[in-house]
Amino acid sequence: MIPRYSRPEMTAIWADDYKFHRWLDVEIAVVQAWADAGVVPAEDARLIASNARIDIGNIDRYIAETHHDVTAFLRSVADSLGPESRWVHLGLTSSDVWDTATSLQLVAATDVLLAQLARLREVVARRAVEHKDTICVGRTHGVHAEPTTFGLKLAVWVAEIARHEERLRAARATVAVGQMSGPVGTHATVPPTVEEQACAHLGLAVAEVTTQIIQRDRHAHFLAVLAGAGASLEKFATEIRGLQRTEILEAEEPFEAGQTGSSSMPHKRNPELCERVCGLARTLRGYAVTGLENVALWHERDISHSGAERIILPDATGLLAYMLHIFTGVMDGLVVYPQRMRANLERTQGLVFSQKVLLALIETGLTREAAYKIVQRHSMTAWEQQTPLRGLLEGDPEVTERLDAARLDAVFDYGAYLVHVDESFRRIGLLPG
């Protein structure tokens, strides 16, 4: 991932130093498993566990010579050991080390992402409770529909983030597997008991059946889950972008002192962070597509997936980490304008109460069709002439003979839309009860 879109905690997980040390962890775990099986002398296993080292500079030099990452790595490990080095990589093939170590990296990356998702959920939950009763207009098709609350809008996001946490935990389990099954996965050179013991040392489950590689449907699923989380972040960011439009201006992302929004127009305060989230979500979805393309490989294994994964696994986890970081900041510092929300709500002259009027007329005995025609006729007049809907209704004897002033007061009451908001908050744990 390019530095602009990187988070140090995620970059570290995909750095060569971290990767090769996970390879070393795998090799040491296998040596220990062989020792437990009585094949490797206990003293040799102890020496390997205590003394095995890698030198990144030497690995790079050896790669230039061998054109093979794993043999270069093994040569560097052997440099740090004596005769006991013969037990390193015993019975293994390159993918046993590479794929199992990649699983360790994916687990570490997932733990970072889960912590970030939890932090975002906490921030959005706090803002949702803060604005639980902040009335604003709900829009369908981009058009004023009925009143809602800004907090309820955010509560929807809280529940959605929680679902992504659940999916990511499941995806973590899917990729938290190791394999030491040898060439083409037959266990001819590494018995299943050694594989099971080595994976236990590493804290991984055993991939039940392999073909020399861990099957890439696991990685494709993992990447799809990341893309799904990115899609929700894009959804949230798009909403804020819409609310920040000059004509609406109900909320806007934070704008720091000294920040500029345009090189030519000093007045500009643009939703550039939210726009960045939206653009990066598109990139993230592309990585999910590549992950699906990696599922189909020739026979028991080829390495057409390898080059792609060197890019998509670090970049996908890194991009989502960055997106979560900046969007959490947006939500933490989000500027909300309740008065503007109320003003926008009242711009449509009470049209947002049309269903309440319709239902009230139906309750008096009118058919739905007859009531609908009355309310629609007055609604269109209110819209076209920019005059309050209630005044038009009060001037229509067909309405007033059925709905007195007290009933109209109850109909044109924003509080009626708050009655059940608390229940939604309770359902997702934002209120007790």
User: 80, 144, 219, 262: which is the annotated catalytic residue?
Assistant: 262
Contact 144, 351 (CB under 8 A): yes
Q: What is the pLDDT of residues 343-364, one digit of tens each?
A: 999 999 999 999 999 999 999 9
Residue 262 has pLDDT above 80, yes or no: no
How far apart CA 31 and CA 72 sit, in angstroms, is 19
Question: Residues 12-31: what's their mean pLDDT?
Answer: 97
Q: Is 85 a catalytic residue?
A: no
Q: DSSP readout, 292-356?
A: HHTS--STT--SHHHHHHHHHHHHHHHHHHHHHHHHHHHHHT-EE-HHHHHHHHHTTTTGGGHHH
Q: Is 164 a catalytic residue?
A: no
User: 94, 95, 131, 141: which is the annotated catalytic residue?
Assistant: 141
pLDDT band at residue 268 under the 50/70/90 scheme = confident
Q: Which of 207, 209, 208, 179 is closest to 194 using CA atoms? A: 179
Q: What is the pLDDT of residues 45-92, one digit of tens each?
A: 999 999 999 999 999 999 999 999 999 999 999 999 999 999 999 999
Phi, psi of 277 (to 5 degrees): -60, -45
Domains in the chain, please, with CATH? 92-341 (1.20.200.10), 351-411 (1.10.40.30)
Length of the chain in terms of residues written: 433
